[in-house]
Amino acid sequence: MGIEKRLHPRIPVNWPVVILTPKSVIKGETRNISVGGACIEYSEEADLNGELHIVFEHSKQRSMSVTGRKAWAGNFNIDGKSVFSGVGVRFIEISREDQELISSLDKDI
């Protein structure tokens, strides 16, 4: 097992997400999240360079809107059958309220 290099631990979630780029709208699913970033699965071709406006749907009553930048992107095959596209985003703007919500998730695990 490798050493965790992230400042904030990732929390597994299955939240719908929308990424707004200057050229497109990409729908996907959040695979994990922390106060510093998230891993997002998506299926459309996408140019994810530059600033990304990202809206996470935590619940029907609560969403989170952040600004982020792509840290990495690629295609992954976890189960040997299906390939998915994923992107890791680093948050550059996130409200204190949203940081507190994410931090509270860590206590629920």
First to last CA, the chain: 20
pLDDT value, residue 5: 59
66 or 78, which is more confident: 66
Position 60 scores a pLDDT of: 85
Within 10 Å of residue 74's Cβ, how many Cβ atoms?
9
**Predicted pLDDT of residue 1:** 47
Mean pLDDT score of the chain: 87
Rounded Cα–Cα distance for residues 90 and 78 (Å): 22
- pTM equals 0.84
- The whole-number pLDDT of residue 47 equals 85
- Report the pLDDT value the prediction gives residue 9, as an integer from 0 to 100: 81
